[in-house]
Amino acid sequence: MTEEIFATDAYARATEATVLEVGPQGVVLDRTVFYARGGGQAGDTGWLRWDGGEVRVADTLRVEGRPAHVVEGDPPRAGTRLNAEIDWDRRHVLMRTHTALHALSGVVWRHHGAKVTGGSMDLGVARMDFELDRISADFGREVEAVLNRELGQDRPIRVLFLPRQQALADSDLIRTKINLIPERVDPIRVIDIEGIDRQADGGTHVRSTGEVGRVRVVKTESKGKAFKRMRIELD
Ligand SMILES: [Zn+2]
């Protein structure tokens, strides 16, 4: 297996590692700081550097349960000791975007009782769909104001590993359909944005809401009954 450093330390930018395997889909390492695409968050990009070589990592995917680094150029051979470094500037924007999306989901749940039905994110932009029947003309502006007020309080964000039974009994987590997580997953990784949102998640997040910065609601639209879509951008 690969030690996935990003799961417990989202701020680790580089690590020494050894190549375990080189497959058609990418390079597998014994440990990595590269987040593998999943849960709506893009895979990391960056570099692998070793004595006598360097390749750019264009994407990171999960292949047979392990992160696979998709490289441009000749990959290092199995057994090579190398340094793996992510493109931190890009990753940090993704972390801020991902945390903003969780905070948005918490705010819309607490103030409007609406569940999230879908969403997507990219660098500094995201959209989220809500199970919401009717919205006022000011809905977007109201949500934006509350969201920025909450983020501005600089609340801590923690990564928790909860025993499955405990997680299944947590009312905040039930809302986000934690029961759909495969039974073999225990403990369950949870991202807790203090006082705002709590959900099972595999992604990387910033350590405090202040680090997200300000968020703009750029569009709110009705896509039908119980289907409202909101687009946000980071400042
Ligand atoms: Zn998430």
Q: What is the pLDDT of residues 14-59, one digit of tens each?
A: 999 999 999 999 999 999 999 999 989 999 999 999 999 999 999 9
Please check the confidence at residue 178 and state whether its pLDDT lies above 90: no
Q: How far apart are CA 175 and CA 177, in angstroms?
A: 5
Distance 40 CA to ligand 1 centre (A): 7
Distance 51 CA to ligand 1 centre (A): 37
Distance 188 CA to ligand 1 centre (A): 13
Distance 222 CA to ligand 1 centre (A): 23
Instruction: Say if strands 3-4 and 31-32 run parallel, antiparallel, or are unpaired.
Output: parallel
Does residue 131 contact residue 229 with C-beta atoms inside 8 Å?
no
Structure tokens at 200: 């099972």
Instruction: Say if strands 26-29 and 31-32 run parallel, antiparallel, or are unpaired.
Output: unpaired
The enclosing H or E element of 9 equals none
Average pLDDT rounded to a whole number, residues 147-158: 97
Sequence-ordered strand ranges (E) for 92-183: 116-122, 125-130, 157-162
Distance 18 CA to ligand 1 centre (A): 29
Distance 201 CA to ligand 1 centre (A): 5
Does residue 40 contact residue 120 with C-beta atoms inside 8 Å?
yes
Distance 210 CA to ligand 1 centre (A): 18
Q: What is the pLDDT of residue 159?
A: 97
Q: How far apart are CA 108 and CA 135, in angstroms?
A: 11
User: Residue 146: helix, strand or coil by DSSP?
Assistant: helix
181 by Cβ neighbours in 10 Å (0-12 / 13-18 / 19+) ranks as middle
Q: What is the pLDDT of residue 172?
A: 84
Does residue 67 contact residue 60 with C-beta atoms inside 8 Å?
yes
